[in-house]
A and B are shown apart, each in its own frame.
Chain A
Amino acid sequence: EVQLVESGGGLVRPGRSLRLSCAGSGFTFGDYAMSWFRQAPGRGPEWVGFVRSEAYGGTTEYAASAKGRFTISRDDSKSVAYLQMNSLKTEDTAVYYCTRCHYYTWKNSAGVDVWGRGATVTVSS
Chain B
Amino acid sequence: DIQMTQSPSSLSASVGDRVTITCQASQDISFSLNWYQQKPGKAPKLLIYDASNLAAGVPSRFSGGGSGTVFTFTIRSLQPEDTATYYCQHYDGLPLTFGGGTKVEIE
| Count of B interface residues, CB-CB < 8 Å | 25
Given contacts A97-B43, A117-B43, contact A47 B49 (CB under 8 A): no
Bound complex: CA of A44 vs CA of B5, how far in Å? 13
Q: A45-B87, A97-B43, A104-B91 are in contact. Are A111 and B49 (CB under 8 A)?
A: yes
Q: Judge whether B95 is part of the interface by a CB distance below 8 angstroms.
A: yes
Which secondary structure characterizes the binding site on chain B? loop
Instruction: Decide if B93 touches A107 in the complex (CB within 8 Å).
Output: yes
New A-B pairs, 11, CB < 8 Å, besides A45-B36, A110-B96: A44-B98, A44-B100, A107-B93, A109-B32, A109-B96, A111-B32, A111-B34, A112-B34, A112-B91, A114-B46, A115-B46
Cβ contacts A to B, 23 pairs, < 8 Å: A35-B96, A44-B87, A44-B101, A45-B38, A45-B44, A47-B96, A97-B43, A97-B44, A104-B91, A107-B93, A108-B94, A109-B32, A110-B91, A111-B34, A112-B46, A112-B89, A112-B96, A113-B55, A114-B46, A115-B43, A115-B45, A117-B42, A117-B43
6 nearest A-B residue pairs (beta carbon): A47-B96, A115-B43, A109-B91, A111-B91, A63-B95, A44-B101
Residues of B participating in the A interface, judged by any CB pair closer than 8 Å: 32, 34, 36, 38, 42-46, 49-50, 55, 87, 89, 91-101
